[in-house]
Amino acid sequence: MPKHIRVVIVDDSALMRQILAEALGGDGAITVVGTARDPYEAREVIKTTNPDVVTLDVEMPRMDGLSFLEKIMTLRPMPVVMVSTLTKEGSDATIKALELGAVDYVAKPSAHPQGDAFAELRDQLVEKVKLAALARVGIRRPVPAHPNILPPPRLRTSSRFIAIGASTGGVERIRDILSVLPAECPPIVIAQHMGPSYVASFAQRLDKMSLPRVELATEGAKLLPGHIFIAPGDRHLAVVRDGGGYHCHLEDSPPVSGHRPSVDVLFHSVAKAAAGNAVGVILSGMGRDGASGMAAMRQAGAHTIGETESSCVVYGMPKCAKEAGGVVVELPLAQIPAEMLRAIDAIGERPRTN
């Protein structure tokens, strides 16, 4: 992270520019070096100030935030934190922004927050800007219009499944993985750090662009081939054995590793319920969530895959999982989908991993 983080704020509302500047200006490690009312002003401000991070509104005159973000990520990639409303339209736009390469997002307040509300916004914004400054941002990788779909596994069964955990950068990565999976893919459960106001839009967008069915996990939902379940944004997702198969279990227990849903909760439940009949994948993200759970999965005999530093936005969660002894193989993102399916086919053909 830069010793001192330089930020440009882009928002058509003068009040919102003031709120964000006040929130960021209170932190000694951050300086707001410029503001802009729209992308055309922002382009000039960015050229002259060369910021480390940009905060970007979604809805603006002359050019919307998504169009400007796409230009940024194509021509001059840099860390961007989106500022969006909590409406359905705002949620859809935020997920699209994360697919385009935005590092993170914050919810836009409806008025000037006071007291505890301002403190909460300030803490969240400062944390996400500092995280964005650490991010590895590269040229945007658009999904091909006709991706090369991988062949289905040899054995179509509910007794083997895949568990995926991700945080910062996960939206883009999960999209890329699911876009190449066959309709008859193994059951998949996913814990992605995301608020409840956004995760439904995430699942709906994935369902539209994927051959398998993608939906929010519900209590008791059975893990079946061709079905992918994503943890709700305010509950933990666990897997429970159900005869010869498995089903989803949702928990309202406190955050684990600082998160709900937590990747650790999911992975520990998989280790307990499925042992070697599962494949675990940990993708880009900040922090340690998933490290102990992936180690438990590997100890139980599961094949575990970590994303390499070279393809991560933030090499935090995969690094911690590797250091905890939880990663069997580390691969760049492009190789992970095929390895997932290969490992599912190999279950029963390989010795137990300890």
Active-site residue, 167 included = yes
146 contacts: CB under 8 Å, gap ≥ 6: none
Per DSSP bridges, beta strands 303-307 and 80-84 are: unpaired
Task: Note whether 57 and 20 are within 8 A (CB).
Answer: no
User: Alpha-carbon distance 277 to 244, whole Å?
Assistant: 11
| Residues counted in the chain | 354
Q: Which residue has the tokens 């929130």?
A: 23
Active-site residue, 249 included = no
Task: Note whether 163 and 266 are within 8 A (CB).
Answer: yes
Catalytic residue among 176, 249, 289, 311: 289
10 token code pair: 């882009």
Give the start-end residues of each E strand in 186-299: 188-192, 213-216, 227-230, 236-242, 245-251, 278-282
- Per DSSP, the three-state class of 150 is coil
Q: Backbone phi, then psi, for 77, in 5-degree steps?
A: -55, 135
> Which of these, 146, 58, 133, lies nearest to 103 by C-alpha position?
133
253 token code pair: 């227990």
Catalytic residue among 84, 158, 167, 311: 167
137 contacts: CB under 8 Å, gap ≥ 6: 73, 77, 78, 79, 101, 103, 313
Active-site residue, 303 included = no
Catalytic residue among 104, 193, 210, 268: 193
- Active site positions, annotated: 167, 193, 289
